[in-house]
Amino acid sequence: MATSKKDIEKNLDGFTKRRFEDGKTTEDWDWGDQLFNGDETYKCPTYVHKTPPCQGSCPSGEDIRGWLNIVRGIEQPTGDMDWKEYAFRRSTAANPFPSTMGRVCPAPCQDGCNRNEVEDFVGINAVEQFIGDNALEAGLSFTAASTETGKKVAIIGGGPAGLSAAYQLRLMGHSATIFDNHSELGGMMRYGIPGYRMPRDVLDGEIGRIINMGVDVKTETSIGTDITMEQLEKDFDAVLFALGAQSGRGLPIDGFDEAENCISGVAFLEAFNDGRLKAVSGRVVVVGGGDTSIDVASVARRLGHIKNGNESDRPEYVVLGHTAHDVMDVASKEGADVTLISRQPLENMNAAQHELDDATREGVDIQGAVTPISVIRDESGRATALRVAKLDYSSGKPEVVEGSEYDIEADLIVSAIGQSGSFDGMDGVANDRGLIDTDKHFQIPNKPGFFACGDIVRPHLLTTVIGQGSITAETIDHYFKNEDLRKRPKVDVHHFDLMEKLEETGKSPEDFTATDDERAIDAGLRGTDSDAYAVHNFEDRATHEIVTNDELFLGHFDKEARHLRTETVPDSEEVLGHFQERMDGLSEEDTVAEAKRCMSCGMCFECDNCVIYCPQDAVHRTPKGDTTMGRYVYTDYDRCIGCHICADVCPTGYIKMGLGDH
């Protein structure tokens, strides 16, 4: 393959970019020269592992490609474990709530899916729900580390962030005790999400698995009342604040704070989910635009109202804890008129589009690009309407349209515009926004041994706070070991690890031992292309790079419609009293078929294109006794001429013409 510098420079441009660009139908170079004189290139293929965009978009950092490849049958379990449990173990390495997240996660992973460039994203949530539901049905459990470290962590808050941290800490062998001021654990998963979206038997099952790892639980326990911060510091080696943002923010407009029938969305949903709130008023106005506001509006439509109810049955009294609804006769209820307004235009609202569509079907009137101006009150001080104005975004920022004000009549106004924390008994940790400041490792500055994660740091998605719980557990582990905190990787998610896979399958490289003979050492370090103590022809860039769609050979993939879950969404005439679960999971057959739509971006999925199309017979399957995930093919460099056809036909972007670069 010897070439002159002039020849290399002449051909360099043709061999440093993809020869067959997606969508390009003509080429301006000569096929014969390029293919049959391909031995003039100095580059040969190597196998480069990158992170797929689904994982890069997942705030909890799941190895999504990994468990999809397990479901589809590409990556095989070892021993007697079946693929369903193997997929469950891979999924829950990062996130212990697959059933929960498969139902309620807004799925940023699906937005980032490269399959969108073919026809439609892979239904990641649907496959995750199947994995989680099967695990619950099979009674799969978690096991804590076999060795206890003796270190104890107090976790204030038993929501998704605190439970995620407790799970990871137990895997490391640290003791975890959760303190929560509610009667049951779950936080916003239990008290913020309605049961028809998040069935309580599913939630209880996934929480129970974590508690059964040996997590101590102190419910109905308030810090500062039942136990002091001083006592926690004395009894525990670290304290983690994961108390969530339990206080909803009111509307910053005239009249809201003064009217007793103006309440927060957080308080509304908690009163409903703990069984106290069973009816609303006739006309409900919700202000928000995110998932919480959608839940409030949908719950209000389901609850309905009793036209001639007692004064004490007004929903605001129940929400504020002054009274409680007795069991109410659904037959005597009427549907509530529910309006949801958002400052964002409809197309830019934060709520997932399917949630907006479902709410509209259920009879919620959704108005976008509208801002609240003031609360209109009667002589007794009660709110009777919300005055709003239209917004114009034509200048790039929202501007009130002059003369566009109008009133929306209301018996109950619910603000779902944001949240903050409640810090009774926890002096000195809150910032001026009612949250907690941390560094990037979720340590509280200038307070060694104190950590915080979840909504109390920055209110966000359930999957986000679950990921934060995992990272914080790592930070606490480093703290206990007096280790310097390493820089978080650029792509900070759970990755496929070839060395771990080789160890799991009994194919670890042999140990390398250098001798005192300098010539033997030199030969050993340089002549490794056939030695069994080195991993050959594999480069791992997963912690630094996400594979993009233009690196893939999209022409390999046939168009195939997504296998959709069915949803039982009531219409406006059926919604009253409809509290059954809306989401029906996929069958096993459809789950496997949906997983097969995954393009395995950044990792070989054994399509054999490179073996079939290599004109020099230089690419071969790894011998059966040595093959495993990530080690399916290899290149014989004595035969390779550098034509890079293998890279061109690789669907996943796994093969790169990089060997030989300087």
Give per-residue pLDDT as tens, 71-86: 999 999 988 999 999 9
Chain-centre distance for alpha carbon 598: 17
Sign of CA dihedral 406, 409, 411, 415: negative
Q: What is the pLDDT of residue 2?
A: 44
CA distance 366 to 356: 8
Q: What is the pLDDT of residue 424?
A: 83
Domains along the chain with CATH numbers: 152-246+421-480 (3.50.50.60), 249-419 (3.50.50.60)
- List the single range of 182-186, 315-319, 496-500, 511-515 with lowest mean pLDDT: 511-515
Q: Read off the pLDDT of each residue in 561-587 and give the average, rounded to a whole number.
A: 93
Judge whether 171 and 145 are in contact, CB under 8 Å.
yes
Query: pLDDT category, 422, cuts 50, 70, 90?
Result: confident
Contacts of 171 (CB under 8 A, 6+ apart): 142, 144, 145, 213
Maximum pairwise Cα distance, the chain: 98
CA distance 455 to 164: 13
Judge whether 162 and 210 are in contact, CB under 8 Å.
no
- List the single range of 63-77, 169-183, 428-442 with lowest mean pLDDT: 428-442
Q: What is the pLDDT of residue 360?
A: 96
State residue 328 phi and psi, 5-degree precision: -110, 145
Query: pLDDT category, 486, cuts 50, 70, 90?
Result: confident
Of 259, 198, 30, 296, the C-alpha closest to 580 is 198
Cβ-in-10-Å burial (0-12, 13-18, 19+) of 379 comes to: exposed
Q: What is the pLDDT of residue 423?
A: 86
Per the DSSP assignment, residues forming a β-bridge with 152 are: 175
Structure tokens at 583: 């989401």
Q: Read off the pLDDT of each residue in 407-419 and give the average, rounded to a whole number.
A: 95
Per the prediction, the chain carries an average pLDDT of 89
Q: Among residues of the chain, what percentage have pLDDT more than 90?
A: 74
Q: Read off the pLDDT of each residue in 394-398 and give the average, rounded to a whole number.
A: 93
Three-state DSSP class for residue 84: helix
Helix (H) or strand (E) holding 499: helix 498-504
Of 490, 493, 478, the C-alpha closest to 441 is 478
CA distance 651 to 230: 58
Give per-residue pLDDT as tens, 219-262: 999 998 999 999 999 999 999 999 998 889 999 999 999 999 99
Sign of CA dihedral 643, 647, 648, 649: positive
Helix (H) or strand (E) holding 356: helix 353-361
For residue 346, CA distances in Å to 32, 130, 368, 642 come to 55, 32, 5, 52
Of 492, 379, 600, 549, the C-alpha closest to 61 is 492
Query: pLDDT category, 523, cuts 50, 70, 90?
Result: low
CA distance 586 to 588: 6
Query: pLDDT category, 644, cuts 50, 70, 90?
Result: confident
Structure tokens at 392: 């114009």
For residue 603, CA distances in Å to 73, 480, 544 come to 14, 36, 15
Give per-residue pLDDT as tens, 262-315: 999 999 999 999 899 999 999 999 999 999 999 999 999 999 988 766 666 788
For residue 214, CA distances in Å to 145, 177, 211, 229, 256 come to 10, 9, 6, 23, 46
Judge whether 43 and 659 are in contact, CB under 8 Å.
yes
CA distance 77 to 606: 16
Three-class secondary structure assignment of 294-319: HHHHHHHHHHCECCCCCHHHCHHHHH
Strands 566-567 and 583-584, by their bridges, are antiparallel
Its pTM stands at: 0.89
Of 108, 222, 98, the C-alpha closest to 164 is 98
Contacts of 472 (CB under 8 A, 6+ apart): 161, 165, 240, 441, 442, 451, 452, 453
CA distance 451 to 456: 11
Contacts of 443 (CB under 8 A, 6+ apart): 450, 451, 475, 479
Structure tokens at 163: 């439970």
